[in-house]
Amino acid sequence: MGVSTAINTYSTSQIEVSKVARAIAHPARIAILQLLYQKDCTCNDIVNQLPLAQSTVSQHLKELRKVNLIKGQEMPPKTIYSLDKKEYTQIQILLNSFFTVI
């Protein structure tokens, strides 16, 4: 069974839950989300708060952006990252409904 065939057997909700779960499965990403919940930050701000290299933080930010948990506002030469509160609320609803069902 190919990947595309397997994906077609799952509901949209199941696929969305798995994407979010993957994005928040790393403790560093949880820490980044907690920082961004408190205030908007640049990558450098996050590096100064967490024991992670800049390249590592950038990779984690990329993964969180993929599922729209965070957004970045370009302000050259840096990007200001913030929690996407609307999407965050939608993901809370998605996860709550998932945990209610199982």
pLDDT of residue 62: 97
- Cα 10 to Cα 7, 68, 86, 92, 93, distances in angstroms: 6, 21, 25, 20, 19
Rounded average pLDDT over 53-78: 96
**Per-residue pLDDT tens for 2-61?**
555 666 789 998 899 999 999 999 999 999 999 999 999 999 999 999 999 999 999 999
Q: Is 89 inside a domain boundary? A: yes
Q: Is 7 inside a domain boundary? A: yes
List the domain range (segments joined by +) for residue 23: 3-95
Q: Which DSSP helix (H) or strand (E) runs through 21? A: helix 12-23
Whichever domain contains 30, its CATH number is: 1.10.10.10
Give residue 78's identity as a one-letter amino acid code. Answer: K
d(Cα 18, Cα 50) in Å, to the nearest integer? 26
pTM of the full structure: 0.84
